[in-house]
Structure 1
């Protein structure tokens, strides 16, 4: 579990509580920021954000708190009728800005919703019952800790303290007997207030749990020097007898438009992208951008927020798109590297929007090469590239963008000259003796 940096405010906040659908529009935007494509086709109706994939988020009538308080209900699989499994959370904006409240939900309970459906540790952590941070008898999905105070240093200090306290493991005996859902149980952990007047609270399935809150208070978490609040959210899923995997919702999580995802298909011999590794169509599919590959496994799970196979979004690292880099050989063949390029956030957002609008053909954009390539190795790493060459395949998928040119002298030479096959391929993809 990690700590989460507080979002910067983009504009002056509203002074009043937003109508349900306006608040859910902020939630929708927040979900899209951390999981591009996840809200595609989702509609705002009544008091709900409803995805065509089968999940929904609704605003419940407020039953406690003030005018800037929002009670949200997450429904991971609305097909389970008539009693749809759900988990609840309540958020309040410390600044009176509804955007802050929406961000808080997205970063904590919302991250758990995404992870419950995706299950690849992209959005939240998974902890088994016998792990040192686990809750005995339960599989746990845990968000990072969000800091809600105005002092960044104090936020981080309390975030670290909350994580290091291993709260749910330490107080497990006080609340696990009250976890009643056979699907998943939502648990919110909150610690906040002024120096000398801090409140520790644990809510289980939307209700304050007195015994667990008292047990958390007894942990003796430190006081801040100014008003500060931190929180995280967890889903606890019962582990079946025998220790097998818990039962997850069947709802799919569409992390990008279908056309973007399809660009990560399995390539056949006739595929022009070079993904099929045979002597006539030599190619190399590079699994990860250099910057992501350098991360430890644990750090990669924490930072990678979205990985569709064609697009990787890694928090604090960058946004990456898989592209074709063709190199002409002196025997008439072309070797294709499926490599990664770094794109600025605005550039990758524009790319995804163009895919959705069917407006990608002919588009040219710029990035930085994020892989070492063949015999040139790291000499071409981080070289600026111009990309384009997209086309729509017959099945509606998007052909990989192609590296068209580079202002880097060496990479420009790699792209424009013809190279000896033995130099580029060695003995990995030789022609057959009959050729």
Structure 2
């Protein structure tokens, strides 16, 4: 399965504003940005209704309790069925950067939509329009699982800001992380796996979150992989995989 570049960029000034100190946006304002992004991405109208951004059928997005600092650090839960949040929620966190709080939130939602949101839209559409399907027998699969792989986004500074993204495209992460997931997951379907890695020599970041919670074993394994450590500037990559269900 080929995975291309969904989004790249971010000036040095943008990156310095990642932990933006401006006033946070209201819940309604954030949800409106989510609804707008998903409408533009999917072509079907999303609207804000109370504490939800609601889309086609029973799909919705809610703001989860934040675990990070800053007005542009968002925890978003995509609800496949709004009436069954416990069984169908896929939660992920994302941070944005920009000149002010609104710009930073918009960037965060854009990153989330192009990595995490597209996997959920593809789960609804199931036609390959939004993201790629990985079958259990594929070389880049997590053994035993059908998965939907979102985009791989990159940002950083310098001529090699896309180095980690390029490596991630060429070296599928699921089989490399498989040993860390040998003990299974907390439920048997709709497992969200976020991967974030990069930085520069001596300032590396490697984080794997499963259903919004840091997976220590997978994060440690990720840190030990041979992805590029740039010596000038920075290079980061982020992606998201939805493990749909096991096939044995």
TM-score range (shorter-chain normalised) is 0.7 to 0.9
Q: Contact 1:186/1:235 (CA < 8 Å) preserved in 2?
A: yes
Which protein has greater RCO, CA pairs closer than 8 Å, 6+ apart? 2
TM-score under structure 1 normalisation?
0.50
Name which of 180, 184, 203 aligns with 1:197: 203
Q: Deviations over 1:374-414 (max 9, x none)?
A: xxxxxxxxxxxxxxxxxxxxxxxxxxxxxxxxxxxxxxxxx
Could you say what secondary structure the match of 2:70 adopts?
coil
- Aligned-residue RMSD, C-alpha: 2.3
Q: Distance in 1 between matches of 2:34 and 2:85?
A: 26
Could you say what secondary structure the match of 1:94 adopts?
coil
Tell me the residue number matched to 1:236: 243
Q: Deviations over 1:128-175 (max 9, x none)?
A: 111110110100100110113355x53322211122222221111212
Q: Distance in 1 between matches of 2:154 and 2:85?
A: 37
**Runs of 5+ unmatched residues, structure 2:** none
Q: What is the 5 A alignment of 1:103-122?
A: 103-122=110-129
TM-score under structure 2 normalisation?
0.85
Tell me the residue number matched to 1:74: 78
Q: Residues 180, 222 of structure 1: CA spacing in aligned structure 2 closer, same or farther, 3 A cutoff?
A: same
Q: Distance in 1 between matches of 2:94 and 2:214?
A: 14
Q: Which has the higher helix share?
A: 2
Tell me the residue number matched to 1:147: 154
Q: Contact 1:72/1:89 (CA < 8 Å) preserved in 2?
A: yes
**Runs of 5+ unmatched residues, structure 1:** 242-435
Name which of 62, 65, 68 aligns with 2:69: 65
Q: Residues 112, 240 of structure 1: CA spacing in aligned structure 2 closer, same or farther, 3 A cutoff?
A: same
Do structure 1's residue 127 and structure 2's residue 129 form an aligned pair? no
Q: Contact 2:9/2:155 (CA < 8 Å) preserved in 1?
A: no
Please report how far the alpha carbon of residue 179 of structure 1 lies from its aligned counterpart in structure 2 after TM superposition.
Answer: 1.8
Q: Deviations over 1:248-296 (max 9, x none)?
A: xxxxxxxxxxxxxxxxxxxxxxxxxxxxxxxxxxxxxxxxxxxxxxxxx
Q: Distance in 1 between matches of 2:69 and 2:85?
A: 30
Tell me the residue number matched to 1:401: none
Q: Distance in 1 between matches of 2:23 and 2:4?
A: 32
Q: What is the 5 A alignment of 1:326-345?
A: none
Please report how far the alpha carbon of residue 110 of structure 1 lies from its aligned counterpart in structure 2 after TM superposition.
Answer: 0.4
Name which of 52, 55, 59 aligns with 1:55: 59
Tell me the residue number matched to 2:90: 87
Q: Distance in 2 between matches of 1:91 and 1:213?
A: 17
Please report how far the alpha carbon of residue 238 of structure 1 lies from its aligned counterpart in structure 2 after TM superposition.
Answer: 2.1
Please report how far the alpha carbon of residue 22 of structure 1 lies from its aligned counterpart in structure 2 after TM superposition.
Answer: 1.1
Tell me the residue number matched to 1:227: 234
Do structure 1's residue 171 and structure 2's residue 177 form an aligned pair? yes
Q: Distance in 2 between matches of 1:167 and 1:104?
A: 19
